Amino acid sequence: MKISVRKAVRADLQAVLDLVIELAIYEKEPDAVTATLADYQLGFDENRIQILVAEDNGRIIGIALYYLTFSTWKGKMMYLEDFVVNEAYRRTGVGELIWHELKEDCKRQNCILLKWQVLDWNDPAVKFYEKHNATIEKEWWNGKIYF
C-alpha cells in the first residue's frame, strides 16, 4: 500500500462525491446527498471548496472537503464539511495522513481554527478527534433552513 495525499483536481470530483455518498450511508442517511457532480464542479470552479484526496496506486480512498469561513469570535477559520476514508482503508493510517495535511493546509492559510461536526454516536470518529486533542463541544445545537 503506497498512500499519497494531495490537493484534488477537477477530475477527482466524481470519486469525491462517491466517498461523500459512502459517508452518508455510514451515517444512516443514504438518501440525504442531493448535491450533484455539477454542484461539486461549480463549487470547485468557484473556489468555494477545497479538497484533499488520499490515493492508493491512483485510486482515491479518502477525502477531506473543507472551506474558508469566518468566526466572529476568533477570526479566519476553516470548516471541515466531510472527512471520510473508504471502509476498506479505515484503521490503516490513511485518516492520520489526511488529518495531518489538513492541519498543515489550515496553518498555511493562516486560519485561527478548524471546526467541524461529528455525530454523537460515531465513537470511532470522536475517539480519533480526541486523540488529536480536539475539543468536542456538546453545548451547541445545530440549526438550519432548507430553501
Q: Where are the domains of the chain?
A: 3-131
Please tell me the predicted confidence (pLDDT) of residue 138: 87
SS (H, E, C) 39-81: HHHHHHHCCCCEEEEEEECCEEEEEEEEEEEEECCCEEEEEEE
Instruction: Select 3-131's CATH number: 3.40.190.10, 2.30.130.10, 3.40.50.150, 3.40.630.30.
Output: 3.40.630.30
For residue 3, give every residue at least 6 positions away whose Cβ sits within 8 Å of its Cβ, in sequence order, or none: 54, 55, 56, 61, 93, 94, 97
Residue among 79, 89, 129, 146 flagged as catalytic: 129
Sign of the CA dihedral running 3, 9, 12, 14: positive
Active site residue 67: no
Please tell me the predicted confidence (pLDDT) of residue 16: 98
Q: What is the pTM (predicted TM-score) of this model?
A: 0.93
Each of the 147 residues of the chain gets a pLDDT tens digit; together they read 789 999 999 999 999 999 999 999 999 998 999 999 999 999 999 999 999 999 999 999 999 999 999 999 999 999 999 999 999 999 999 999 999 999 999 999 999 999 999 988 989 999 999 999 898 998 888 888 788
